[in-house]
Amino acid sequence: MSTTSQKIGTTELLFRCAEQMGLEPSWLSPQGPFAIKTAGGEQYINFARSPLNSHVGSSLAKDKYLTRLILERHKLQNIPFARPRTQAQAAAFLKTHGKIIAKPVHGAGAHDIHIITSVEQLEQLSVSRYILEQYIAGREMRYLVLNSSVIGVHQSVYGTSVQADRALQRISYPQDTWDATLVESSIYIAQALGLKFAAVDYLIDSSGDSHILEVNTSPGLKWFHAPSSGPAVDVARLFFEAMLADNTSTITTFAV
């Protein structure tokens, strides 16, 4: 298995993998999209959307509120949530749960996320742009799904606060330690959203109960190739193999 000890960005990682696979990659712009040669002609790799996922599935998963609604319809391990239109609605949700998190509805990564414990903090936000969720402390686990199989699992260790500028560690778990219930749940969630490729993130609380944190349709690959500890997974090669086997694939893109 090809791995790298350097935690390079996902696009560069994919480019190097394409070189190793003889796909003759060439940059369209410096460190931006690149082209590969396939039996069907030329295809393009960027960093925002996977061709293995339908347009509908990708758009649903990128909207955090719609994702929560779908999880609720399927009676999955959802986190209590609200999409407030007014400050009064946001304040009522805060009063119910005491400590909440505000996330941009269309945000990505850990950007513009706020831990809220007071009405004064809410008043500093344009709450209609955010989804509010109950704050739940716990371990964050990521299950990576490709074509209805889990291909990698790791724990994200951030420290004490999602708002802090802190060093990230990703601890990769051997397959024989994966939680079978979360494996099954992750595959089901991906299928429910129409996704062939997705990362399903969970919070595991102090009681051992799991809560779905989010679904990511363009997860970075570097931590699977070069985890802080634990087994590496050659996700880039697995993805290319799946993409080349899918005759409908024409363009692939990824998060850095």
208: left (phi over 0), alpha (psi -120 to 50) or beta: left
3-state secondary structure of 158: coil
**Model pLDDT, residue 10:** 86
pLDDT tens digit string along 32-53? 789 999 887 888 887 667 778 8
Tokens 């697995």, residue located: 238
pLDDT at 158 exceeding the cut of 80: no
What is the distance of C-alpha 169 from the center of its chain? Answer: 16
Stronger pLDDT, 38 or 186, i.e. the higher one:
186
CB-hemisphere CA count at 13 Å for 148? Answer: 3
* CA pair distance 154, 134, nearest whole angstrom: 23
Q: Which amino acid is at 50?
A: S
**Helix/strand/coil for 177:** helix
The more confident residue out of 136 and 3 is 136
Domains and CATH numbers, the chain: 55-77+137-247 (3.30.470.20), 81-134 (3.30.1490.20)
* Structural element, H or E, at residue 69: helix 64-73
Query: CA 226, CA 4: separation in Å to the nearest integer?
Result: 6
Residue 180 above 80 pLDDT? yes
Global pTM reads 0.89
